[in-house]
A and B are shown apart, each in its own frame.
Chain A
Amino acid sequence: MPKLIINNKSYNSRLIVGTGKYKDLSETKEAILNSGAEMVTVAIRRMNIGQDKNLPSLLDYLDPKIFTILPNTAGCYNAKDAIRTCHLAAEILEGEKLVKLEVLGDDKTLYPNVTETLKAAEQLVKDDFKIMVYTTDDHIVAKELENIGCISIMPLASPIGSGLGIQNEYNLLTIKENSNVPVIVDAGVGTASDASKVMELGCDGVLMNTAIACAKDPLLMAKAMKKAVESGYDAYHAGRIPKKYHASASSPKEGNVCD
Chain B
Amino acid sequence: MKIILNKNIQTIPDSSSIEDLLCHLNIEVKYIAIEVNEMIVPKSEYNIFNLKDNDVVEIINAVGGG
Which residues of A are at the interface with B, using a C-beta cutoff of 8 A? 18-22, 25, 28, 41-47, 49-50, 53, 57-59, 64, 69, 71-72, 74, 84, 87-89, 91-93, 160-161, 209-210
Contact = CB atoms under 8 A, between A and B. Distances in A.
Contacts of B5: 49
Interface in B24-66: 25-28, 30-35, 38, 40, 42-43, 58-66
The CB with the most chain B CB atoms within 10 A, among A42, A72, A161, is that of: A42
A20 B65 contact: yes
A45 B61 contact: yes
A74 B58 contact: no
B64 to A, nearest CB: 4
A42 B63 CA distance: 6
A84 B58 CA distance: 12
A62 B60 CA distance: 17
Nearest to B65: A43
A87 B39 CA distance: 10
A20 B66 CA distance: 6
Instruction: State the majority secondary structure of interface residues on A.
Output: mixed
B31 A45 contact: no
B64 A43 contact: yes
Contacts of A160: 66
A41 B66 contact: yes
A45 B63 contact: yes
- Which interface class (under 10, 10 to 19, 20 to 34, 35 or more) fits B? 20 to 34
Given A46-B59, A47-B60, A84-B38, A41 B27 contact: no
A53 B64 contact: no
A91 B63 contact: no
B6 interface: yes
Given A49-B6, A88-B40, 10 more contacts: A21-B66, A41-B65, A42-B62, A45-B62, A45-B63, A45-B65, A59-B31, A64-B31, A93-B31, A160-B66
25 contacts: A18-B64, A19-B66, A20-B65, A20-B66, A41-B65, A44-B61, A44-B62, A46-B6, A47-B6, A49-B5, A49-B6, A49-B8, A49-B59, A57-B31, A58-B63, A59-B31, A59-B62, A71-B62, A74-B66, A84-B38, A87-B40, A91-B33, A91-B34, A92-B33, A160-B66
Interface centre among B8, B26, B38 (most CB of A within 10 A): B26
B66 A47 contact: no
A18 B65 contact: yes
B6 A58 contact: no
B66 A72 contact: yes
Interface in B1-28: 5-8, 25-28
